[in-house]
Amino acid sequence: MIVDSAIYVDGKRATAPGTLSETYRTCRAVDGVAWIGLLKPTEQEFASVAAEFDLHELAVEDAVKAHQRPKLDRYGETLFVVLRAARYLDRTESVEFAEVHVFAGPDFVVTVRHGDAPDLGKVRKRMEDEPDLLGLGPEAILYAILDRVVDDYGPVVAGLQNDIDEIETEVFGGNAGVTRRTYELAREVIEFQRATKPLTGMLAGLLAGAEKYGLDPELQTYLRDVQDHAIQVQEQVAGFRELLHNILNVNLAIVGLQQNEEVKALSEAAIAQNDEVKKISAWAAILFAPTLIGTVYGMNFDEMPELRWQLGYPFAVALMVLVSVVLYAVFRRRGWLS
């Protein structure tokens, strides 16, 4: 549960107690700032931390259960901040999200991570390498965590931009499976937007209360810089969402055109086939008429008036030719034999 625990005096690590109990005793004994880093603590494990620093029960419940939206709440002298960190996974070309909860009080900072990001070990090292900044108090640690989370958004933005470029190429290349990938990427962008959009309001709230709560002017400058970066990320993500919407519409239009071409080709094939059927049917009818006449005159009955008629044979032949010519003329006029 405990990733790291240390007491800082004048921006320098004074001691690193091995247990939470030692941290509490040392924090009360010296005039310093306790920074405790926890990873996925249970409700029972977090109970002693909550009791020692008098953390509000609602904030404690949120920190333990996770799955919270980014927000900034103040409970008395304690700030409670929920951040959604993100990182881009090149192997799967997807975005992985995690949560970090920060309690910043007068003389303590408690961080609760749910996931691998952000790497707070690097944040701690950076602050220990900058004792003047760390000496500004718990709000400086909160700033460093905010800065780290926003900086980690940079590779995510670059990864999403690359994915969108690939999708654009696939759309105009006629890849039929691009629609599914576009939907999946759109969901990631929406999720990323939910993580980044509240940050600008949270930072604006921190800066708005700077004078009331005595926030160091230098620290205010650092927070404004983080706010500028957060706004930039937010604008890029909003642009991604609009671009994906347009790509999806274009892809649907292209798919529609392709389907229309396929239907047109099928229709032309059906028409051509129908024409062939007409020709076959017409010739079958033309050949059937003489056959029928010949069949009638070929029946071996004794009582047939035409059997002893002198002009019977020429009449039968003439009748077969006449019927065939008439049928040919009719079918040709109707376009069946063109």
pLDDT in tens, 68-119: 889 999 988 889 999 999 998 888 888 899 999 999 988 889 999 988 878 8
Among 140-154, 161-175, 205-219, name the most confident range. Answer: 140-154
Of 98, 110, 117, 113, nearest to 56 by C-alpha is 110
Domains 2-257 and 273-333 share a fold: no
Sequence-distant (≥ 6) Cβ neighbours of residue 131 within 8 angstroms? 10, 11, 12
Q: What is the CATH number of domain 273-333?
A: 1.20.58.340
pLDDT at 225: 93
Instruction: Enumerate the domain spans of the chain.
Output: 2-257, 273-333
Of 206, 192, 201, nearest to 80 by C-alpha is 206
pLDDT at 141: 92
What's the rounded Cα separation, in Å, for the pair 251 and 171?
6
pLDDT at 152: 92
What's the rounded Cα separation, in Å, for the pair 185 and 329?
65
Q: How many CB atoms lie within 10 A of CB 24?
A: 19
Region 314-334 average pLDDT: 81
What's the rounded Cα separation, in Å, for the pair 117 and 145?
11
What's the rounded Cα separation, in Å, for the pair 185 and 177?
13
Judge whether residue 255 has pLDDT over 90: no
Judge whether residue 11 has pLDDT over 70: yes
Cβ atoms 93, 84 nearer than 8 A: no
Specify the pTM: 0.74
Q: What is the CATH number of domain 2-257?
A: 3.30.460.20
pLDDT in tens, 26-53: 777 777 888 888 888 888 888 888 888 8
Sequence-distant (≥ 6) Cβ neighbours of residue 308 within 8 angstroms? none
